[in-house]
Structure 1
């Protein structure tokens, strides 16, 4: 049995283009693996609580893994450990990741738990797995007149820090443009996903 961790954080939730495209991928996986499981982590409802002084003290004080102050962090890291594929629907906010996703990162990227410090730098402690990131933006950050994209290199680096290096990005751009532009974008990304074996070929 396979398990996909589906992480999403759009304020549009189920109406977001990235979320709906991710659902197409999950249905494809289910059709080809009847035993496939999905762990869904909605970072908007309920929102994760901000890191507090207690968590920071536990982190810097090398508290035990079972310390109560790490309970939420342990749960979120456990979701990654129980899955062998990750699917992330990620809107771009002001050239970078949304605050809700950054907070998730701060809970799952934890010294001595999901990464270890070494003489050569940080070494990831989690198993690598295929990871698909659907990046949604109202503007354009690829091609002519591209806006800055700090999201992609950051996500790639931070996931590699915990051991996840098999990461592929797909870009849903121009989502505040006219309906024709949006349809063209979605069609192009679906073609990419079909080539990657994440969607069926059209009949």
Structure 2
């Protein structure tokens, strides 16, 4: 059975508009593959633990996967390994990812578990799979009306590529702090999602 992993980093939880868009993407997948299993991680409601000294020591000592310090990391890594589709719904906090998502990343990126090193570079150990990142922000950070930098997009792209996931698409919900801009952004995001060949309505119509 195929599965989709939905990671929601919004402090608004299921009320987040980015999460709502993520659920639309999930529903589109279900319209073509009804047996898909949905796995959700709400990082604000169940925030990953801060990185501990025991975890850091286990990394340095190259401890076995079964070590107690790796339990949380293994849970998140198994989520990613087991999914056929990955969806991340996240706000932009201070130009980049929120703290809860950064902790999730720190547990998922693990040397000799999700990436290895070759010639001094990190190389992913996981198989590629379609990934969709939906970014919500109160201001404008992308396009001609951008008023702040976007460090989130290149960072998350590099993070996912590091573990082997390079098929990544982004949808932006910008200007959500202003009603007029929010309405336009939601309409634009709906169009982008509908046209996405994997997560959108195009795949449903084509049956692919």
The aligned counterpart of 1:193 is 193
The aligned runs of 1:97-116 (5 Å cut-off) are 97-116=97-116
The aligned counterpart of 2:164 is 163
The aligned counterpart of 1:128 is 128
RMSD of aligned alpha carbons? 1.2
Cα drift, residue 57 of structure 1: 0.5
Indicate the larger mover: 52-61 or 119-128.
Answer: 119-128
Q: Contact 2:7/2:42 (CA < 8 Å) preserved in 1? A: yes
Structure 2: how far apart are the matches of 1:70 and 1:128?
24
Cα drift, residue 127 of structure 1: 1.1
Structure 2: how far apart are the matches of 1:64 and 1:21?
38
Indicate the larger mover: 25-34 or 157-166.
Answer: 25-34
Q: Contact 1:190/1:199 (CA < 8 Å) preserved in 2? A: no
Unaligned runs of 5+ in 1: none
Cα drift, residue 143 of structure 1: 2.1
Secondary structure, counterpart of 2:201 in structure 1? coil
- The TM-score, its normalising length taken from structure 2, stands at 0.93
Structure 1: how far apart are the matches of 2:161 and 2:24?
26
The aligned counterpart of 1:90 is 90
Secondary structure, counterpart of 1:14 in structure 2? helix
Structure 1: how far apart are the matches of 2:162 and 2:143?
29
State whether structure 2 residue 42 is matched by structure 1 residue 39. Answer: no
- The TM-score, its normalising length taken from structure 1, stands at 0.95
The aligned counterpart of 1:148 is 149
Q: Contact 1:48/1:103 (CA < 8 Å) preserved in 2? A: yes
Cα drift, residue 181 of structure 1: 2.0
Q: Contact 2:195/2:201 (CA < 8 Å) preserved in 1? A: no
Unaligned runs of 5+ in 2: 203-208
Structure 2: how far apart are the matches of 1:160 and 1:118?
15
Structure 1: how far apart are the matches of 2:106 and 2:142?
28
Task: Give CA deviations for 1:140-177 in whole Å, capped at 9, x if unaligned.
Answer: 01123411000001000111111111111111100001
Structure 2: how far apart are the matches of 1:37 and 1:162?
22
Secondary structure, counterpart of 2:117 in structure 1? strand
Q: Contact 1:89/1:133 (CA < 8 Å) preserved in 2? A: yes
Number of matched pairs: 200
